[in-house]
Amino acid sequence: MATASNKDPSRRKAAKGQPAQVAADANSSPLFVQSVEKAMSVLTAFDGSKRQLSLSEIAALTGFDMSATQRFTYTLAVLGYLRKDPDSRKYELSPKLLDFTYHYLTSNELVSRATPYLQQLGSETEEATNLTVLDDTDIVFVLRIVSRNVFNAHVITGSRLPAYCTAPGLAMLATFNDGEIDDILSRSHLVPYTSSTVYEPQRIKKRIVQIRKQGYAHAEDEYFLSDISTAAAIVNAHGRAIGAVNIAVARPRWDATRDEKRFADLVISTASAISSRRVSAQMVPSGSI
């Protein structure tokens, strides 16, 4: 698997982690600080498609005028979150932003509890094993154990993929009620990334019914060709997903008659072991349903 592109507006909107109506209601609150929103808009303009952006490019991506763009980029640079190249005069993200990732990972109970289980799973299978959480309509990789057989090394902590066509996403969606699933699908950018992508809402919901019966989700070639993934949901005491465990395998290493049942049993048992630790509701990310 590899990182999803955030180039199109729908992906950038989903990455904010809030349904449109919820965001609109929050924006109208007297407690909402618009300058903070604007500063975050500048930071999220750096979506990975370009390492550096000029002031005019940042202005175009955020919709701010040049004066506002200058003020926000200057402030973020002074605070250490942006760097300005003295030659090109373009801006780029600073390593200081990684402090947030570090603090999230070291303080997150789910990551802490899941780590030894994923390490064991990776050692046993010699394949890439992942812990993901649901953030609005996407899954986000919060822990990744790679092996020498890893399919795509470009997936790293923080990589974001659509839930509707990924095994971890489908495994988590299957623990929600039908109304919640309809809401998530209605806000998802449903497109066929490959010829194998299941992207029609009715087909996705039919698939979820089967996942509920069998206890795991399986996807082949749906986001990237040659990527095969098997996943099971980690649930809280109420049976709702707070994350998912998956094993990702490259097609040349895949033997359906041998691997699907074996990997399904492994992710189910691993997810169950983590779930049985009764992880707290605090592990659910703020943007989750």
CATH number, domain of 80, equals: 1.10.10.10
| Residue 102 maps to a domain | no
- The Cα-based distances of 113 to 108, 109, 172 in angstroms read 9, 6, 18
pLDDT of residue 22: 60
pLDDT of residue 70: 96
Q: Quick one: 81 and 115 in the same domain? A: no
Q: Quick one: 146 and 244 in the same domain? A: yes
Q: Would you call 270 helix, strand, or coil by DSSP?
A: helix
Given the structure tokens 């955030």, which residue do they identify? 6
Of 41, 59, 93, the residue that ends a domain is 93
**DSSP assignment, residue 53?**
B
Residue 24 tokens, joined = 């609109």
d(CA 105, CA 141): 11
pLDDT of residue 249: 93
Q: Quick one: 76 and 122 in the same domain? A: no
d(CA 261, CA 252): 18
Residue 200 tokens, joined = 């029609």
Q: Return phi, psi of residue 246, to 5°.
A: -140, 155
Range of the domain at 69: 9-93
Q: Quick one: 155 and 276 in the same domain? A: yes
Q: Quick one: 207 and 112 in the same domain? A: yes
Total number of domains in the chain: 2
pLDDT of residue 30: 87
Burial class (CB in 10 A: 0-12, 13-18, 19+), 154: exposed
pLDDT of residue 260: 92
Nearest C-alpha neighbor of 215 from the set 257, 254, 172, 250: 172
Q: Quick one: 18 and 138 in the same domain? A: no
Q: Quick one: 216 and 115 in the same domain? A: yes
| pLDDT mean by block of 10 residues, the chain; 289 residues | 39 46 72 93 91 96 96 97 95 95 93 96 94 97 84 81 98 97 97 97 98 97 94 96 96 90 96 77 43
pLDDT of residue 124: 94
d(CA 268, CA 228): 16
Q: How far is CA 271 from the centre of its chain?
A: 18
